[in-house]
Amino acid sequence: MLNLLFRFGTPMLAIGCLVMICLILAGQPWSLALLESGGAQEFKIVFLSIILEAFPFILLGVIFSALLQVFVTDEMIQKMTPKHHIVGILFGALLGLIFPLCECGMIPVVRRLIRKGMPAYIGIVYLLAGPIINPIVFTSTYAAFRAEPQMAYDRIIIAFIVAIVIGLLLHRFMKGNPLKEAAVKHEHNHHHHDHPERHEPVKPSWGSRLSETLGHASDEFFDMGKYLIFGALLTAVIQSFIDRQAFESVANQPVLSYFFMMGLAFLLSICSTSDAFIAASFDGMFNHGPLLAFLVFGPMIDLKNLLMMLSAFRTRVVLSITALTFTLVLISVWLLEVVR
C-alpha cells in the first residue's frame, strides 16, 4: 500500500500542480483565494521549512552511506566484531558512531553481515541503535532543538539503553537463525549459479569507485527524499488544517500523548537524519517525553522498516522485536521524565 502511494503520489502531485497553475493563469479568483488563505500560508511555511532544514542532513547522510557501501566491505566489519556477547552488544550499539548508516539502507547490510557470520543479536542491535547513535543524527537533532539541546543527548541515551536490553534478551532467548530460510537458500543458489568457479577479485579503479559512490548516493537520496516529502506534507497538513485544540486535548493526556507521537513516528516513516525537524515542529504542543518517544521509536521501528524487516527476518522475530522496542521505549522515556 505504501509503495503504491509513493509510486503514484509523485505523478498525482505533479498533475495537481499543473491544474492549479492552469487555474491561476485562467484567472479563477477562488483558486487565488485558496492559495492566499491563512491555512494555505501556514501549510507552505511549515512544509518548506521542514524540507529546507532537513535537506543538508539528508545529503550528508546519503554521502556517508554511499562511501561505506563502496569502500567498507562486510568482511572488514566482521573481523572487527568481538566474540564475547556483552562486548559484542556494546559494539553493535556503538557501531553507528563509526558507520553512520540511515535506517533506510541498514536492513540489507545487516542481513548480509548475519549471513556472513556476524551473530544475529549483534546485527539486530546495530539495526536498532545505528540510526540514532551516530554523529549525523546527533547533529541534526541538536540543530532542530537549538532551544532544548538536552533532547539530542536524551535521544542517544534512551536509544542506547533500549538497544542494549534488547540485545541481551535476544542473546538469551533467540535460538536459531532469525533470517528467512527461503531467502538464504535463494541467495546461496544464486551465488553458486553465478560463480561456479572462484576467480581472483579485480580491484576496481578509483574512477569506478567514485562513479559507484555517486550512483549509490543519488539513488539513496531520491529514495529517502520521497519519505521526507511525504512526512513533511502530512505534518504540514496536520498542523495547518486540524484544529490546535484537538492536539491540545491529546497532548494534555499523560499516556495518550506518548502513544500518539509513537504512532505518528511509525506512520510517517521519516529518515532519522531529518525526523528531528518534524518533531521540533510539534514543540510547544507536546512535552519533552512524547517528543523524545517519537525520536527514539520512529528510527527503530516504522512502517517502511517493518515491511523490510518482514521480508528479511522471520515474522515471529520481527513481531517480538517490535513489541519489545515499543514497550522499552515507552518505559524508558516515562522513567526519564519521572526522575526529572
For position 60, what pLDDT does the model report?
Answer: 77
Q: What is the largest CA-CA distance in the chain?
A: 72
List pLDDT tens digits, range 294-309: 999 999 998 877 877 8
DSSP string, 257-315: HHHHHHHHHHHH---TTTHHHHHHTTBTTB-HHHHHHHHHHHHHS-HHHHHHHHHHB-H
Contact 333, 289 (CB under 8 A): yes
pLDDT at residue 16 greater than cutoff 80 = no
Q: Which residues sit opposite 313 in a β-bridge?
A: 179
Q: Is residue 210 over pLDDT 60?
A: yes
Task: Select the more confidently predicted residue: 214 or 280.
Answer: 280
Distance CA 280, CA 149 (A): 11
Q: Is this model's pTM higher than 0.85 or not?
A: no
259 or 105: which carries more pLDDT confidence?
A: 259
Distance from chain centroid for Cα 13? 24
Continuous segment of H or E residues that includes residue 333: helix 315-339
Please state the rounded mean pLDDT for residues 204-210. 79
**What's the confidence (pLDDT) of residue 196?**
46
Which whole-number Å values give the CA distances from 319 to 84, 322, 336, in the listed order? 27, 5, 26
Report the candidate in 283, 291, 287, 279 with the shortest Cα–Cα distance to residue 231.
Answer: 279
Position 272 pLDDT exceeds 70:
yes
Least confident of 99-103, 197-201, 209-213: 197-201
CA-to-CA distance for 50 and 177, rounded, in angstroms? 41
> Taking 70 as the threshold, does the pLDDT of residue 34 lie above it?
no
Separation CA 52–CA 311 (nearest Å): 33
Contact 80, 92 (CB under 8 A): no
CA atoms of 279 and 137, how far apart (whole Å) = 13
Predicted confidence at residue 279, as pLDDT, reads: 93
Q: What is the pLDDT of residue 194?
A: 44
Return the ∠ at Cα 334 (arms to 328 and 338), rounded to 5°: 140
> What average pLDDT does this structure show over 77-97?
88
Least confident segment among 35-44, 141-150, 152-161: 35-44
DSSP secondary structure, 205-225, as one string: PHHHHHHHHHHHHHHHHHHHH
- Do residues 325 and 162 make contact, with C-beta atoms less than 8 angstroms apart? yes
Computed over every residue of the chain, the mean pLDDT equals: 79
pLDDT reported for residue 327: 97
Alpha-carbon span 128 to 160, nearest angstrom: 9
